[in-house]
Amino acid sequence: MKHYIFIIFYIFLNLIIYAFQGSFWVYLFCFLMFSGVVIWGSFDITLRYFVNTVTQKRTKIKEVALTFDDGPTEFTPKFLDLLKENNIKATFFCIGQQIEKYPETFRRMIEEGHSIGNHTYSHSDNTGFLSISKMIEEIEKGDQTISEFGNVTTHLYRPPFGVTNPNIAKAINNTKKNSIGWNVRSFDTVTTDEKKILRRVTKGLKKGSIILLHDTSEKTYNVLVELLLFLEREKYSTFTVDSLIKLKK
Ligand SMILES: [Zn+2]
């Protein structure tokens, strides 16, 4: 599964080279196609191109995982209130620097039984371009913040922006993390229309889906209100991501 796209493209490109007997433009075209696939592989986590990432649960029952990235923030307490009212446990992938800003909210997530994952210390915009050692530092500093403020450890790691590449793959192995992706993306950070976000999530929902949301805005809170009603109506239960992984020793 992991490299199937690479293999298909490799065969496809060789066929083109064979068919056109190797003019310069054919080679250039092939090079650009190949680069395109590698870049696509870096950004689309569901392809699992570089890192063996968990993107869903294999299950026969109607259950999904709610995951929230980039918190804790000033909005997180509202999310926690809503989840508590509905007796739902979610998975929060926290940024170290945000934990330092909102330590009490972070502790509340843990006290209320939610799963915690590492989302790096600083969520650097350059995440895709960091060296292996810098990447390891980002993950380890995130771990330190989680244990210092929450007195817990986590084996879960979610790559910022869903970006994976060979350096990030090595850092994930080195820090013994399980890479956690998603197969339902809400685009709640870029879309302004709440109805559109909700529709995108509910349309793509399947048994075992892992849903990516962000506890960073009022807008996503409003979407979550509607989403929980939808899940109840459609008789979906929820699971937390830590229930999926075998611990790495
Ligand atoms: Zn993020």
Least confident segment among 19-23, 57-61, 166-170, 240-244: 19-23
Which residues hold their Cβ within 5 A of ligand 1, which is an ion? 69-70, 160
* pTM to 2 decimal places: 0.85
Does pLDDT of 7 surpass 60? yes
Distance of CA 173 from the midpoint of ligand 1 (Å): 20
Distance of CA 70 from the midpoint of ligand 1 (Å): 5
Q: Mean of the pLDDT values across residues 232-238? A: 97
Distance of CA 94 from the midpoint of ligand 1 (Å): 8
- Half-sphere exposure of residue 227, counting CA atoms within 13 Å on the CB side? 34
196: enclosing H helix or E strand: helix 194-204
Question: Are the C-beta atoms of 213 and 224 separated by less than 8 Å?
Answer: yes
Two structure tokens written together for 193? 């229309």
Distance of CA 207 from the midpoint of ligand 1 (Å): 24
Catalytic residues: 69, 214
